[in-house]
Amino acid sequence: MARGLPRTMARAASREAGSAPAVSGLKAVTTGAGGRFKTVFTLTAMRIAVPNANDYASQKIFDFAAGRINIEGGTASLAFAVPTTRASTINDSAAMDWSIGTAAASNVTLASTMVDIVAKVDKTLDGTAAAYTTPSTANVAAAAAYDGTGTAKDAFLNIAFPTATDVDGDGTVAVSGTVTLLWSLFGDY
């Protein structure tokens, strides 16, 4: 980004709105001011460790600033790959679900606050070896308000393997693509 006013405004928006955690392969750029924001997440081979014991996993992608939040809309286009050995970790053609929510995945059935930003999307890992799948697209679930007063809300990218037979050992899923959120922050008490 060029130096000067645009760079200063982007930094100010990030301070006012919240920030992404320091995760390899994750970049979040927030623009806007006065409580109205657009955050674009760019994922480039971001890794999510999937333990065989759970068959589900999450990666936090954003820490919203404390306050009431209204997510008005947005889109997601994500492709997935398995960079670990497929035969002994996550199988070829595994049935996988993904979502974005204000809570991390806690079981293989993604529901409730695990899917309250982007609803659950069914995906078959059709890539072979470490090849990426065809992109999977989704819209924000519905315009929704979140009470992040006192305790700020987070956004998590959640994945799960609901058949519980597609994960044979601890593995890794790599994610590439973009997520765009249009949202407002109404302040804290």
Span 156-184, average pLDDT:
95
Tell me the pLDDT tens digit for each residue of 20-68.
999 999 999 999 988 999 999 999 999 999 999 999 999 999 999 999 9
With bands split at pLDDT 50, 70 and 90, how would you rate the model's confidence at 188? confident
Tell me the pLDDT tens digit for each residue of 60-116.
999 999 999 999 999 999 999 999 888 889 988 899 999 999 999 999 999 999 999
Per-residue confidence (pLDDT) for residue 150, from 0 to 100:
86
Neighbours of 147 (CB within 10 A): 10
Per-residue confidence (pLDDT) for residue 4, from 0 to 100:
56
b/e map of 34-55 (b: 16 or more CB within 10 Å)?
ebebbbebebeebbbebeeebb
Q: Which one, of 23, 17, 16, lies nearest residue 42 by Cα?
A: 23
Positive/negative CA dihedral, 24, 29, 34, 36? negative
